[in-house]
């Protein structure tokens, strides 16, 4: 290895300009790959974390995946019954405290019961549909970060006034509501009440900020016209990534539909997978193009060094040693390019991460970027692999040189 390494180092040192071009090619490829991966995954993680932080990891509703089997159908299994009316059951989760207690017994998660109701908000002659979430502020902090997302007022303000509500920022803007204003709320069942806005929150998730408001459980129950109603349990799992498995078990044990955040945003996660596939394809293409530079350099060196190769072989150097010389040359270029690319990529990622963006709906934010060792490892390995492959063909050609052909030609 020592001899091959020495010869390889001497070759690339004697061709500094070419070596520099090769190194720059690999460095650019690696740098852009690292930056791109950091930016893409950074934005993805930021989006998911906003989603995961703002929403419960699992939502257990009073619905069921499949409608319950009707007693008549159970008795007359072979008889076709048409136009069968289902029994009008009392809404909500039956005995919610028992269900909560059961889930809390085994699930590594925190639970908050709530009442979800579709409502209509009326303010200054405008009607806006929204979702009211009846909560207990003391338990709500266990499952959501809405308390930390308040831009005006506090979550506890719900306890300080009767019929108090806290609105999403975009919803408040649409209605022109400010803290202290009174609004009229009516439920789908026709019940109406007057409520006071005691706070405004902004989660950063448009879907929530645009259509959700919080009230006390009792207020939501009054609007829903059902005392003691709890139609939703919201859970925050200790590990957000286990939400899907927990939801499956909760559903199996309680019979109620339990939807994990992954299931709720399946289409989004699939889109991310496609986006990642595209990203890695582009990254691979960048590195492939960089490897052409390495191929070009090694090809040129082997071409220029044909006579030296013949001499070394005539002296008794094995073909494998000759091959190794050129592979080492490419790997040296690859290694230096990789190191420079890491630095370049890191600096570009940092520069991008420092850029500030202002949104009309939110605070000024920086581009979300991440520094993942995996990105560096991936870009580095692909660059080295590409350098190796780029060198292999010319190296193999060099090793197959017949010394007599060259010596005879030179003579």
Binding site for other proteins (CB under 8 A): 2-3, 6-7, 10-11, 13-14, 307-308, 311-321, 403-404, 407-408, 410-411
Q: How far is the CB of 308 from other proteins (least distance, A)?
A: 5
CB of 7 or CB of 290, closer to other proteins: 7
Q: How far is the CB of 1 from other proteins (least distance, A)?
A: 11
Among candidate residues 57, 99, 85, the one with its CA nearest the CA of residue 256: 99
Q: How far is the CB of 302 from other proteins (least distance, A)?
A: 15
Q: How far is the CB of 23 from other proteins (least distance, A)?
A: 19
Pure H helices in 204-265: 206-209, 217-224, 243-254, 261-264
Q: How far is the CB of 24 from other proteins (least distance, A)?
A: 23
Beta bridge partners of 186: 120, 192
Q: How far is the CB of 286 from other proteins (least distance, A)?
A: 33
Q: Residues 6 or more apart from 392 whose CB is under 8 A from it?
A: 327
CB of 82 or CB of 411, closer to other proteins: 411
CA dihedral (387, 392, 394, 395) positive or negative: positive
CB of 258 or CB of 401, closer to other proteins: 401
CB of 247 or CB of 406, closer to other proteins: 406
User: SS3 of 15, please?
Assistant: coil
CB of 223 or CB of 301, closer to other proteins: 301
CA distance 280 to 226: 53
Type and span of the H or E element at 289: helix 266-304
CA distance 195 to 96: 27
User: SS3 of 133, please?
Assistant: strand
CB 317, CB 409: distance < 8 Å: no
Q: How far is the CB of 335 from other proteins (least distance, A)?
A: 21
CB of 122 or CB of 396, closer to other proteins: 396
Among candidate residues 7, 28, 125, the one with its CA nearest the CA of residue 383: 28
Q: How does DSSP assign 39-88, residue by residue?
A: HHHHHHHHHHHHHHHHS-SEEEES--SSPPPPHHHHH-TTS---SPPPP-
CB of 21 or CB of 311, closer to other proteins: 311
CA 24 to chain centre: 31
Q: How far is the CB of 333 from other proteins (least distance, A)?
A: 17
CB of 359 or CB of 411, closer to other proteins: 411
């Amino acid at each position: 290895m020592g001899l091959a390494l020495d010869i390889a180092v001497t070759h690339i040192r004697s061709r500094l300009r070419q070596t520099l071009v090769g190194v720059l090619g690999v460095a650019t490829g690696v740098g852009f790959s690292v930056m791109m991966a950091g930016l893409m995954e950074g934005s993805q993680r930021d989006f998911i974390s906003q989603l995961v932080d703002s929403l419960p990891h699992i939502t257990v509703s009073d619905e069921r995946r499949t409608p319950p089997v009707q007693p008549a159908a159970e008795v007359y299994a072979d008889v076709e019954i048409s136009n069968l009316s289902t029994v009008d059951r009392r809404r909500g989760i039956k005995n919610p405290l028992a269900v909560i207690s059961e889930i809390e017994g085994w699930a590594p998660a925190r639970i908050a019961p709530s009442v979800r109701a579709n409502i209509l908000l009326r303010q200054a002659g405008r009607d806006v549909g929204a979702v009211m979430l009846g909560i207990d502020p003391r338990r709500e902090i266990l499952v959501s970060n809405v308390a930390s997302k308040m831009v005006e007022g506090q979550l506890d303000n719900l306890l300080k006034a009767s019929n108090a509500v806290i609105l999403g920022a975009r919803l408040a803007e649409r209605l022109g509501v400010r803290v202290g204003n009174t609004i009229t709320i009516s439920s789908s069942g026709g019940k109406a009440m007057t409520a006071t806005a005691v706070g405004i929150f902004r989660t950063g998730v448009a879907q929530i900020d645009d259509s959700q408001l919080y009230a006390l459980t009792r207020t939501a129950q009054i609007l829903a016209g059902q005392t003691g109603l709890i139609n939703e349990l919201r859970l925050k799992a200790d590990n957000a990534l286990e939400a899907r498995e927990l939801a499956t078990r909760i559903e199996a044990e309680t019979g109620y539909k339990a939807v994990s955040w992954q299931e709720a945003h399946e289409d989004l996660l699939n889109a991310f997978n496609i986006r990642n596939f595209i990203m890695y394809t582009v990254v691979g293409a960048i590195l492939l193009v960089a490897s052409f530079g390495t191929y070009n350099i090694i090809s040129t060196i082997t071409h220029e060094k044909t006579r030296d190769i013949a001499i070394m072989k005539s002296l008794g150097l094995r073909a494998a040693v000759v091959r190794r010389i050129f592979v080492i040359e490419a790997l040296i270029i690859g290694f230096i390019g990789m190191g420079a690319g890491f630095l370049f990529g890191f600096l570009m990622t940092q520069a991008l991460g420092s850029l500030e963006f202002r949104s009309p709906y939110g605070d000024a934010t920086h581009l979300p970027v991440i520094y993942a060792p995996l990105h560096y490892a991936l870009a580095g390995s692909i660059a080295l692999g590409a350098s190796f492959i780029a060198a292999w063909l010319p190296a193999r050609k060099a090793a197959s040189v017949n010394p007599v052909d060259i010596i005879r030609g030179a003579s």
